[in-house]
């Protein structure tokens, strides 16, 4: 039974053999285990393994077990217009017929080119719509869309090591 103002300590005492063959008693540094559960090394290793297995079998990776290095909302200049969020296939096909196939084409189109496109296409698009679209794509990242780089730490032999590196043991709760 433990009383409220009591503490618990683990103290290890060992006999070590010195280089000259003599034995000497040695007291390890006391460990305060108040409020902690002391388990054997075998049990500790089993608990770690259970945590690792738990993470490996997660269906949803959560915010830190699966890392994507390209944000889904990133817009690239060489990206096809139809891949833009909120931009349908029909709109893309209409603009493709006028030479606008990629984000780059809209980004660097002159106002005269956009006006000509509106006139050629009748009521399909207004100049205001195309100018807003052009303003929206001004933040496009130069270059082509990189391959999707995703690291799924759940698939690693030790997901904690894969995610946190050498300090992985600090993250097992």
* Structure confidence by residue, pLDDT tens digits, 8-20: 777 888 888 889 9
Does 24 or 6 have the greater pLDDT score? Answer: 24
Could you tell me if residue 20 is inside a domain? no
On average, the pLDDT of the chain sits at 82
User: What's the rounded mean pLDDT across residues 70-82?
Assistant: 78
DSSP for the chain, please give it: ---TT---EE--EEEEE-TTS-EEEEEPPPEE-TT-----HHHHHHHHHHHHHHHHT-SS-HHHHEEESS-TT--BTTSBGGGSTT--HHHHHHHHTTT--BHHHHHT--HHHHHHHHHHTTTS--HHHHHHHHHHGGGPBSSPPPPP-EEEGGGSSSHHHHHHGGGGGGG--
pLDDT confidence bin for 62, thresholds 50/70/90: low
User: What's the rounded mean pLDDT across residues 27-40?
Assistant: 80
Could you tell me if residue 108 is inside a domain? yes
Could you tell me if residue 64 is inside a domain? no
Please say if the pLDDT value at position 42 is more than 90.
Answer: yes
Please say if the pLDDT value at position 5 is more than 80.
Answer: no
Could you tell me if residue 87 is inside a domain? yes
pLDDT confidence bin for 127, thresholds 50/70/90: confident
Mind listing the pLDDT tens digit for each residue in 139-148? 888 888 777 6
Please say if the pLDDT value at position 89 is more than 60.
Answer: yes
pLDDT confidence bin for 90, thresholds 50/70/90: confident
Question: Residues 124-139, buried b or exposed e (16+ Cβ, 10 A)?
Answer: ebeeeebeebbebbee
pLDDT confidence bin for 46, thresholds 50/70/90: very high
Could you tell me if residue 71 is inside a domain? no
Q: Give the CATH number of the domain where residue 126 resides.
A: 1.10.150
Question: Which pLDDT value is given to residue 115?
Answer: 87
Please give the residue range of the domain that contains residue 89.
Answer: 81-139
Question: Which pLDDT value is given to residue 20?
Answer: 92
How many folded domains does the chain comprise? 1
Please say if the pLDDT value at position 92 is more than 70.
Answer: yes
Could you tell me if residue 104 is inside a domain? yes
């Amino acid at each position: 039974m433990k009383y409220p103002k009591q503490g618990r300590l683990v103290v290890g005492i060992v006999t070590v053999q010195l280089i000259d063959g003599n034995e000497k008693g040695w007291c390890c540094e006391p460990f305060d285990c108040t409020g902690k559960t002391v388990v054997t090394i075998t049990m500790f290793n089993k608990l770690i393994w259970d945590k690792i297995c738990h993470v490996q079998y997660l269906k949803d990776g959560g915010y830190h077990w699966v890392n994507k290095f390209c944000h889904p909302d990133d817009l690239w200049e060489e990206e096809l217009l139809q891949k833009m969020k909120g931009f349908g296939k029909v709109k893309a096909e209409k603009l493709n017929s006028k030479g606008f196939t990629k984000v780059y084409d809209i980004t660097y189109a002159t106002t005269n080119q956009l006006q000509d496109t509106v006139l050629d296409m009748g009521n399909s698009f207004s100049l205001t719509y195309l100018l807003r679209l052009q303003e929206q794509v001004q933040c496009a990242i130069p270059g082509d869309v990189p391959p999707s780089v995703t690291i799924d730490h759940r698939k690693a032999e030790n997901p904690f090591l894969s995610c946190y590196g050498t300090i992985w043991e600090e993250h097992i709760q």
